[in-house]
Amino acid sequence: MRKLKTTDVFEALRLIKKANLKEELRPVIASVAEGSMSIENIGISGILSVVEIFTEKKAEKAIYEFLSGPFEMTVAQIEDLPLAELAKNFVALAEENDLKNFFGILQAMSTKKS
């Protein structure tokens, strides 16, 4: 497992664009970035909230591609992960990163000023 880095922000933005989910994700990203979601909830429940939005088949592969970076795994390895291992990886991702900051940057970069 590696820490999130700059390339992950751009990968997440591509994922949002590819899946046409900008409007659906905006409230989740904003709640994390604004701090209205507790640090505890930013962990696995926060990540799972985002993943729930990506349940469309068109986004599945893009999710695996995004996770392959921080999980340091191939897409095929992620597809075949037992659910307990996937959950463990989400917990580690949350514990090892400043997800509030990550989602704050994501929010700033995905919000267009009108």
**What is the residue whose two structure tokens read 């949002």?**
16
Does 72 reside within a domain? Answer: yes
Does 1 reside within a domain? Answer: no
**What is the residue whose two structure tokens read 């989400």?**
90
Does 105 reside within a domain? Answer: yes
Does 102 reside within a domain? Answer: yes
For the question of whether the overall pTM of this predicted structure is more than 0.85, the answer is no
pLDDT tens for 7-63 read 888 888 887 777 666 666 677 677 766 766 665 565 555 566 666 666 666 677 888
The domain containing residue 65 runs over which residues? 6-110
- The domain tally of the chain equals 1
Q: How confident is residue 114, by pLDDT bands cut at 50, 70 and 90?
A: very low
Does 79 reside within a domain? Answer: yes
Chain centroid to CA 2: 14
pLDDT tens for 54-63 read 666 667 788 8
Does 99 reside within a domain? Answer: yes
